[in-house]
Each structure stands twice: as structure tokens, then as C-alpha cells.
Amino acid sequence: MRCRGAGGGRGGLWHRGHLSERGQRAIHQPGGGERAVLASSSSSGASRAPMPGCRRGKRQPARFLWQLVGGERGVNHQPTTVTMSFIEYGDTIKDGDTAIVFLGHESMFPVKVQHGTVTQTKYGVIRHSTDLIGKKYGSKVTCSKGGWVFILHPTPELWTMNLPHRTQILYSTDISIITMMLELKPGSIVCESGTGSGSLSHALIRTVAPTGHLYTVEFHQQRAEKAREEFREHGVDHLVTVTNQDVCKNGFGVSNIADAVFLDIPSPWEAIGHAKSALKTEGGRICSFSPCIEQVQRTCLAMEEYGFTEINTLEILLRVYNVRTISLQIPDLGKAAEDNSGTGFDSSNPSNQGSPGANLQQGTVQFKSGVPLREMVGHTGYLTFATKSLV
């Protein structure tokens, strides 16, 4: 059952600058989806004209840029303590990183890399100072007992599979279609409620980075605080504002600037009005996620009443296949006549595509198959999308 809560909190818009180790500064200036100015330094030291896009080559020497780019108000330019982030790939594991320890098939967990600490795994101990820090992401690390693991760079998708659940979360299958149907991209302004465990939030932040922003509302005070903490630890807090309030009563805290609004709350129809006012004057997409069809019906009605168009409800499910080599036995059909040898199986007849492995000695045929799992997720929720009408 999804948990919902309420609470008061801070809202409002604010500006923040963030320095990444690549020497880039991204400043979000909320206000009608205006593209923020991005300044970067090339390896030659010359500053590039602020223009989204172009960074020739990839590896730049780590450099801190002290340039003030419009709108900043006397911020103390200090390197942030978290130098990695979910929105920018890094090559080597550093102190303070959140890394993913991969043990084997679908067995992994996140770890906060810290000098001096030690992590226990079923393969033995991992010492952060010697085994992790300084190593390349994707490296194999041998643990004390001799077994080994892989250390992976975090991504929102890996985070979704490994984050500590405070509520039921959205998985990447739903997140994927939400992202595309809301037309999200770098620079987009998104509003979300409820934040929950931050699964979708991380994915949204990744998509709108480096110039967009996520305004996420969570009515449960502790969950809101935990979310803020995680965003900080993951180096993305400059791209997100967590507000602790009830979206149905007080909205998202912003007006007429969002490109998209996402609702995952028990009574989304109560927030449609607020969603509409948060969305930019013209255009803008909305999505509501509800497990129950009754909720969907009420939400669609509310969307229509508020003048949304292109209302469309769908559901998406993931089907996973295990790749297996299957051996099927050939039945003994006896002999056609007394003096006829052979089992009635034509040995010259190739079996399925792939290996023509008719192993007559053992009377089996081998083939490769994509075998579905015994059980699959049958339902997560209905997704309803709509467009804010121009009228």
C-alpha cells in the first residue's frame, strides 16, 4: 500500500550554482523554461561562449571554474564535497562516491565509499581505501575470502534497483515511458508528487540535467528530508527542490513554468487544478500514475474538466526472458517393422535454428530458447497522459 503523508514546508524558487570537477557550471534560472547559461573551459584555458552543446573531445583536466555567470549572488565558490554525481560519468572511484557493488546475477547493493571503512560481502571484506578508492569503475575487486565483485558507476536505473524503499517505487519500465511521453529532456522543468523513495526523482533529474529542474513535493516530513539528503549525497541537489507540503492543498510551489507534471498520489484528481497552474501557459504535459481503475476514471474526468486534451491511458509491463539451452528428449516411438532399425526420428533433419544438435546417442535435441520467467509483474499502475490545452 502506498504511504502518503502531509506536512508544511518551504517552497519557492531559488538559484544555485554547482561546480563539478569538469569545471562546468550549470545554473538553473527558473522562469518560463529559459535555457540556463552554461560556461565551460576547454583544455586550452579559453572560456567558451555560453551555448548549449558543444564540448569537443571528452576528457578535460579537472578544473574549477570561478566564473560568475549571470544571476549568481555572491556565492562562495568552493568545490562541493561530493565530486561525482548521478548525472555525470566519472572514471575512477573516489572518496564520497556512491558506488554499486555487483555480486552476480541481479545481486547488487549500493555502498558509500569512504576512507577507512570496510564493507562485508558474502565473498569477504572490501576495504574501501585499498580496494575501491582510485580504482576504475567497472573493475573487478577481489574480496578477502577470494571471491570477487564488480564495482559499478551509479545510474538512476541501478539506483532504482538498489535504493532503500520507504514506499512502493516506480521501476524503470514505467519510468521510461513516463520520460518519453512527458517529452522530458535537458532543460525541462518538471514537477513531481509524491517524492516517495526518490526512484523516479533520480531518473527525472538525470534527464533534465544540466539546465533543467525538478520540483518535487512530499507530504511526509521524514521522507522529504531523506530525499534531500540523498540528492545531496548524489551530487544532484542543485537540480532539485524538495518541498514538504500537501500538493492537493498547496500545489507545487511554482506557477506557469513547468514543462511537465507527474502525479503519483492517492487522489490525483484533487491535484489536477494545481498541476494546471504549475504548468507553463501553453502546452505542457501531465501524467498521473494510479494502481486502481477507479482512480483513473476520476482523474480523467478531472483532466477533462480542467481543459486538458489528448487524454490517454495506458499500461506497460516488462517481460524478461532467460536465455537457456534446452534439451528435449526424443520419445521412443518404437520400430516401424521388425527388420527396420532407427527410432523413426530423421537424423538428417536439422532441429531448430541455432545448433543442429540432434544427439541421437542420448535421444535428445538441443536448442537455445528465450524462456519467460515463471512469474512476472502483472500490474504496477495505469499511466494517464494529457496535454494542457492552449485555450
Partner 1 sequence: MEASPGARIREGDCAVLKRGEVFKAVPVLRRRKIIFEKQWFYLDNAIGHIYGTTFEVTNGGNLQPKQDVEETTTETKEAGTDNRNIVDDGKSQKLTHDDIKALKDKGIKGQEIVQQLIENSTTFRDKTEFAQDKYIKKKKKKYEAVITIVKPSTRILSTMYYAREPGKINHLRYDTLAQMLTLGNIHAGNKMIVMETCAGLLLGAVMERMGGYGSIIQMYPGGGPVRAATSCFGFPKPYFDNLHEFPLSKVQSLLSGTFSTETLPSDPEDNALVEEESNGLTEEKQTSLQETEEEPTTEAPMEINQSEEQETMDINAEDVEFKENKEKENKENVREKQMKQWERRKKLTETAALLREKNADGLIVASKFHPTPLLLSLLEFVAPSRPFVVYCQYKEPLLECYTKLRERGGVINLKLSETWLRNYQVLPDRSHPKLTMSGGGGYLLSGITVVLDKGKSDSSSLEALKMEEPSPKRCKVQDLHC
Measured distance CA(21)–CA(83) in Å, rounded:
6
Options 320, 328, 336, 360; binder of partner 1; rule CB under 8 A: 320
Measured distance CA(280)–CA(30) in Å, rounded:
12
- The contact pattern for partner 1, residues 127-146, with x = CB under 8 A and - = no contact, is ---------xxxxx------
Q: Residue 224 or residue 365: which is nearer to partner 1 going by CB?
A: 365
- The contact pattern for partner 1, residues 79-118, with x = CB under 8 A and - = no contact, is --------xxx-x----------x-xxx------------
By CB under 8 A, is residue 370 in contact with partner 1? yes
Residue recorded with cell 500545489 = 251
By CB under 8 A, is residue 330 in contact with partner 1? no
Instruction: Determine the interface stretch with partner 1 among 174-182, 243-251, 327-335, 356-364 (rule: CB under 8 A).
Output: 174-182
Q: Which three cell numbers mark 345?
A: 526420428
**Hey, which residues between 220 and 249 contact partner 1 (CB under 8 A)?**
none
**Hey, which residues between 193 and 222 contact partner 1 (CB under 8 A)?**
203, 206-207, 209-211
By CB under 8 A, is residue 377 in contact with partner 1? yes
CA atoms within 13 A on the CB side of 15: 17
**Hey, which residues between 261 and 300 contact partner 1 (CB under 8 A)?**
280-283, 293, 296-297, 300
CB of 56 to partner 1, least distance (A): 7
By CB under 8 A, is residue 155 in contact with partner 1? yes
Options 8, 10, 47, 51; binder of partner 1; rule CB under 8 A: 51
How crowded is residue 174: how many other Cβ atoms within 10 Å of its Cβ? 22
Q: Residue 178 or residue 224: which is nearer to partner 1 going by CB?
A: 178
Options 1, 12, 46, 56; binder of partner 1; rule CB under 8 A: 56
Measured distance CA(6)–CA(249) in Å, rounded:
10
Measured distance CA(295)–CA(160) in Å, rounded:
25
CB of 366 to partner 1, least distance (A): 12
Q: Residue 8 or residue 134: which is nearer to partner 1 going by CB?
A: 134
Options 62, 75, 125, 301; binder of partner 1; rule CB under 8 A: 301
- Interaxial angle between packed helices 199-208 and 172-181, expressed in degrees from 0 to 180 and rounded to the nearest 10: 40
By CB under 8 A, is residue 313 in contact with partner 1? yes
Measured distance CA(42)–CA(57) in Å, rounded:
10
Measured distance CA(365)–CA(362) in Å, rounded:
9
Helix (H) or strand (E) segment spanning residue 177: helix 172-181
Question: End-to-end distance of the chain based on CA atoms, in angstroms?
Answer: 38
Closest to 273 (Cα-Cα) out of 257, 261, 289: 261
Closest to 190 (Cα-Cα) out of 214, 171, 211, 172: 214
CB of 342 to partner 1, least distance (A): 30
Options 17, 30, 187, 268; binder of partner 1; rule CB under 8 A: 187
By CB under 8 A, is residue 366 in contact with partner 1? no
Measured distance CA(110)–CA(112) in Å, rounded:
7
